């Protein structure tokens, strides 16, 4: 102002024309740069959205078929002579019959099915053995599990859905064609034609694949049986460990640091190190877990408890940083008010500050959990990448049983040769994304519900 | 209430509640309060006036040790409340603050219901044995805060939903709910409009019946209206302390005179 008056009106406003209708050059330039900036922003968002759409379409198109599976319907006679020779129905006796004992039952069931439909495999140039190959190698185990779960069904004829071979399944999902079958040692075009015939007669069909969600992993040559059941349980157990360790430790640490700790070089040091810890690559935490929890403490490998502990260490800085930020955002007048009526420091924190900071703390915790849920690298180092066929037990013992985890399962399947596992891996990614989506939804809902104005 | 005033005015000297001697406050290297000696009487309104940054709020916050929450603040000297030094190592500040209540510049009700705002202090100090007693305390405090009639139908409504003046009276009611002996007010009307200010001033005059009230204010008219004793602070020094009438009509120190006539500040 003083400058303008000192220089006089002519000197200070050389470019301005009198009219407001005609924009001067300066304003035009400013408007242009503003429009340009908006365009950049739109382009940036466009790239992001495009990447997301491409990613989701690719995952969904590859992964959704994993939720469908081809099965062969057949009625199988559970022959007591083979399954329970003594006729005692003792479950321990029945368990002694291995999957080899069940194979003849399935062969028999398939024979009768073909006969009843009037289909002769010979017509397709297939032996009985070739026809049987269309059923998954897992089928016998599938039947054995059923019998062990329902021993009273022995001696009965039951309708059963056998998993079809992965290649047959792939044929109906477009992964296997007649041409590729020519060159495939695992399946022949004749088998595919027989499958088509069976399908036309309703003996073969595609159904929703609950087993994908509940079943355990399966070996290299039977992708049709692989599921993410063990991985979901393992991930769930780890999340429990993380929640019950990281939330109390993280919140207690941040309350102390934010509200009680004196400000000196030592707390500054701690503060800097917590921020540094948040930036440490997760694989380093894996090495730490391997060295301390497994080698030194002697906890079992591949166990959710170790995974949970490692992920807790990884999540703690996230929780501490977000909790401290939300504690800081509570206005100091609330603290003064509480102290003013004679509340102690702790009462003022727990009665007034903490409830106000709650939405932020919960959001931070859930984001930390979501981050932990998707973490792969540290889990590989502590052995969770192993092939785990057995379900972990119920907690608390289950925390010490070997288990897998969702992201590790995805990694595991992508390393396998059979293309059917690509579909499985994408399916597992969909499940993982759904879980993450749910957690973020919960975070949003909690924030909405607890948010209070002051 | 008003009919009691002549009786009180007849009392010549009142009991001294706070006796402050050689008080010094340092913020880091800054010497914020220098050699302040002041006697605050019981059942009296004492006003602290002075230009911004003169240390009146700092001194007020010494009286219930609110400066403890500021890391760099250091307090020296003796602050005797009923003959006991409140800065004694054995004194628990929490107990002190129950005895010396405080109302802040900006109304700061808890983001809870009106009822809970008032009931919080009595609850943590165990002043009520049961719900009926607590209800009674809440009603009594809200009546003392001159806000009962406005909120009696909506005690469950959030305290933050009230208007600014109502919030401040709610905060005063909250402060008196713990039965303090001294009530400190740090510019309680600076965020209020003239009508709300008048209500709060009226309230302060009534509170004088039961408490020793210390009020920090920027408004000299307000000090003249509500207080019996006035202390004038300047640059961390207590320049003059005396009867309000005398300070405003016949100041002894030229600095006081300059301030109240508007020449400094």
CB nearest B108 (choices: A333, A342, A344):
A333
Q: Is residue A58 included in any domain, yes or no? A: no
Dihedral sign computed on CA atoms, order B148, B149, B151, B152 = positive
Q: Is residue A106 included in any domain, yes or no? A: yes
A268 & A176 share domain: no
Determine the pLDDT at residue B241: 92
Give, in order, the Cα–Cα distances in Å from B207 to each of A152, A217, B175, B239, B240: 85, 76, 11, 27, 25
Domain boundary among A143, A176, A209: A209
Domain extents in chain B = 17-260
Q: In the structure encoding, which two tokens stand for residue A334, read together?
A: 């609330």
**Any B CB within 8 A of A262 CB:** yes
Q: Which of B177, B8, B182 is nearest to B82 (CA)?
A: B182
| CB contact (8 A) between residue A335 and residue B124 | no
Domain boundary among A209, A243, A261: A209
Question: What mean pLDDT do residues B157-186 have?
Answer: 90
| CB contact (8 A) between residue B109 and residue A337 | yes
A136 & A241 share domain: no
Determine the pLDDT at residue B6: 39
**Cβ neighbours of B103 in A, within 8 Å:** 340
A287 & A203 share domain: no
DSSP for B7-30 reads: HHHH--S--EEEEEEEEEEEETTE
A259 & A165 share domain: no
Mean pLDDT over the full length of chain B: 87
Please give the tally of structural domains in chain A.
2
| Cα A337 to Cα B109: distance, rounded to the nearest angstrom | 7
Q: Is residue A27 included in any domain, yes or no? A: no
Q: Any idea what the CATH number is for the domain that residue A441 is in?
A: 1.10.3720.10
- Nearest-CA residue of chain B relative to A454? B111
Determine the pLDDT at residue B7: 41
Domain boundary among A209, A242, A273: A209
Neighbours of A403 (CB within 10 A): 30
DSSP for A216-272 reads: ----TT-GGG--SHHHHHHHHHHHHHHHHHHHHHHHHHHHIIIIIS--SHHHHHHHH
A190 & A242 share domain: no
Domain with A107 in it: 64-209
A181 & A299 share domain: no
Q: Is residue A33 included in any domain, yes or no? A: no
Q: Are B82 and B104 in contact (CB under 8 A)?
A: no
| CB contact (8 A) between residue B97 and residue A339 | yes
Q: Does residue A396 have a cis peptide bond before it, meaning omega lies within 30 degrees of 0?
A: yes
| CB contact (8 A) between residue B104 and residue A344 | no
A107-116 contact pairs (CB < 8 A, 24+)? A107/A132, A108/A76, A108/A77, A108/A79, A109/A74, A109/A75, A109/A76, A109/A77, A109/A160, A110/A72, A110/A74, A110/A135, A112/A74, A112/A75, A113/A72, A113/A73, A113/A74, A113/A75, A113/A203
Tell which CATH classification among 3.40.50.2300, 3.40.50.300, 3.40.190.10, 3.40.50.720 matches the domain B17-260: 3.40.50.300
| Cα B84 to Cα B17: distance, rounded to the nearest angstrom | 10
A362 & A307 share domain: yes
Q: Are A63 and A429 in contact (CB under 8 A)?
A: yes
Q: Which of B206, B232, B205 is nearest to B217 (CA)?
A: B232
CB nearest A344 (choices: B94, B101, B160):
B94
Q: Is the pLDDT of residue B263 over 80?
A: no
Tens digits of per-residue pLDDT, B3-26? 444 344 444 567 888 899 999 999
A69 & A127 share domain: yes
| CB contact (8 A) between residue A336 and residue B66 | yes
Number of A:B CB contacts under 8 A? 68
A203 & A236 share domain: no
Q: Is A425 helix (H, G, I), strand (E, B) or coil?
A: helix
| CB contact (8 A) between residue B177 and residue A335 | no
pLDDT tens sequence for chain A (454 residues):
444 444 444 555 555 557 788 888 888 999 999 999 999 999 999 999 999 999 999 999 988 988 988 998 888 888 888 877 777 777 888 888 888 888 888 888 888 888 888 888 888 888 888 888 888 888 888 888 888 888 888 888 888 888 888 888 888 888 888 888 888 888 888 888 888 888 888 888 888 988 888 888 888 888 888 889 999 999 999 999 999 999 999 999 999 999 888 888 999 999 999 999 888 998 999 999 999 999 999 888 888 999 999 999 999 999 999 999 999 999 888 998 998 888 888 999 999 999 889 888 988 999 899 999 989 999 988 888 878 888 887 777 888 888 889 999 999 899 988 888 999 999 999 999 999 999 989 888 888 887 765 4
Determine the pLDDT at residue B194: 87
Q: Which of A294, A410, A454 is nearest to B109 (CA)?
A: A454
Q: Is residue A416 included in any domain, yes or no? A: yes
Q: Are B131 and A358 in contact (CB under 8 A)?
A: no
**Any A CB within 8 A of B61 CB:** no
Give, in order, the Cα–Cα distances in Å from A340 to each of A317, A354, B99: 33, 18, 10
| CB contact (8 A) between residue B104 and residue A262 | no
């Amino acid at each position: 102002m003083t400058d303008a008056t000192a220089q006089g009106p002519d000197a200070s406003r050389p470019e301005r024309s009198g009219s407001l209708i005609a924009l001067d050059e300066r304003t035009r330039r400013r408007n242009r740069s503003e429009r340009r900036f908006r365009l950049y922003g739109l382009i940036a968002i466009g790239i992001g959205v495009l990447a997301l759409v491409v990613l989701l379409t690719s995952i969904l198109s590859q992964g959704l078929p994993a939720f469908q599976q081809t099965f062969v319907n057949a009625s199988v006679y559970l022959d007591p002579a083979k399954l329970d020779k003594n006729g005692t129905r003792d479950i321990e006796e029945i368990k002694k019959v291995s999957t080899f004992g069940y194979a003849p039952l399935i062969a028999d069931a398939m024979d009768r099915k073909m006969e009843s439909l009037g289909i002769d495999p010979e017509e397709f140039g297939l032996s009985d053995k070739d026809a049987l190959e269309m059923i998954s190698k897992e089928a016998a185990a599938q039947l054995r599990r059923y019998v062990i779960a329902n021993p009273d069904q022995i001696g009965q004829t039951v309708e059963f859905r056998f998993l079809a071979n992965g290649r047959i399944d792939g044929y109906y999902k477009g992964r296997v064609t007649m041409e590729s079958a020519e060159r495939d040692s695992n399946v022949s075009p004749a088998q595919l034609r027989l499958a088509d015939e069976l399908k036309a007669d309703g003996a073969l069909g595609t159904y929703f694949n609950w087993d994908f969600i509940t079943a355990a992993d399966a070996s290299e040559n039977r992708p049709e049986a692989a599921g993410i059941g063990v991985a979901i349980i393992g991930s769930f157990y780890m999340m429990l460990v993380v929640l019950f360790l990281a939330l109390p430790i993280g919140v207690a640490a941040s309350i102390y640091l934010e509200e009680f700790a004196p400000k000196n070089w030592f707390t500054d040091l701690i503060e800097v190190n917590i921020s540094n810890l948040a930036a440490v690559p997760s694989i380093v935490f894996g090495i730490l877990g391997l060295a301390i929890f497994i080698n030194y403490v002697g906890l079992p490998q591949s166990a959710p408890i170790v995974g949970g502990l490692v992920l807790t260490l990884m999540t703690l800085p996230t929780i501490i940083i977000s909790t401290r930020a939300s504690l800081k955002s509570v206005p100091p007048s609330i603290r003064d008010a509480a102290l003013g009526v004679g509340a102690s420091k702790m009462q003022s924190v727990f009665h007034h500050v903490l409830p106000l900071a709650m939405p932020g703390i919960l959001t931070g915790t859930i984001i930390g959990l979501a981050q932990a849920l998707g973490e792969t690298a540290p889990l590989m180092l502590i052995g969770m990448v192993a092939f785990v066929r057995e379900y972990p037990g119920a907690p608390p013992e289950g925390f010490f049983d070997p288990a897998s985890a969702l992201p590790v399962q995805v990694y595991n399947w992508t390393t396998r040769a059979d293309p059917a596992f690509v579909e499985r891996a994408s399916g597992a990614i969909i499940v993982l994304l759904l879980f993450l989506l749910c957690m973020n939804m919960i975070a949003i809902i909690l924030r909405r519900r607890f948010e209070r104005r002051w | 209430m008003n009919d009691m005033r002549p009786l009180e005015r007849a009392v010549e000297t009142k009991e001294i509640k706070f006796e402050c001697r050689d008080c010094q406050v340092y913020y880091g290297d800054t010497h914020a309060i220098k050699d302040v000696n002041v006697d605050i009487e019981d059942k009296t309104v004492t006003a602290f006036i002075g230009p911004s940054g003169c240390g009146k709020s700092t001194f007020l916050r010494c009286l219930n040790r609110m400066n403890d929450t500021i890391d760099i603040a250091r307090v020296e000297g003796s602050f005797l409340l009923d003959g006991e030094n409140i800065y004694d190592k054995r004194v628990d500040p929490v107990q002190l603050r129950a005895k010396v209540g405080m109302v802040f510049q900006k109304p700061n009700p808890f983001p809870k219901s009106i009822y809970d705002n008032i009931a919080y202090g009595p609850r943590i100090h165990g002043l009520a044995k049961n719900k009926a007693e607590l209800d009674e305390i809440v009603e009594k405090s809200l009546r003392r805060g001159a806000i009962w009639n406005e909120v009696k139908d909506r005690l469950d409504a959030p305290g933050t939903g009230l208007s600014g003046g109502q919030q401040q009276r709610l905060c005063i009611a909250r402060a008196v709910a713990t039965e303090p002996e001294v009530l400190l007010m740090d510019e309680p009307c600076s965020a209020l409009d003239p009508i709300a200010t008048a209500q709060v001033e009226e309230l302060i005059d009534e509170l004088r019946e039961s408490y020793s009230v210390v009020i920090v204010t920027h408004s000299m008219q307000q000090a003249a209206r509500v207080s019996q004793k006035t202390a004038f602070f300047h640059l961390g020094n207590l320049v003059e302390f005396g009867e309000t009438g005398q300070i405003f009509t016949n100041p002894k120190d030229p600095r006081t005179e300059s301030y109240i006539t508007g020449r400094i500040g």
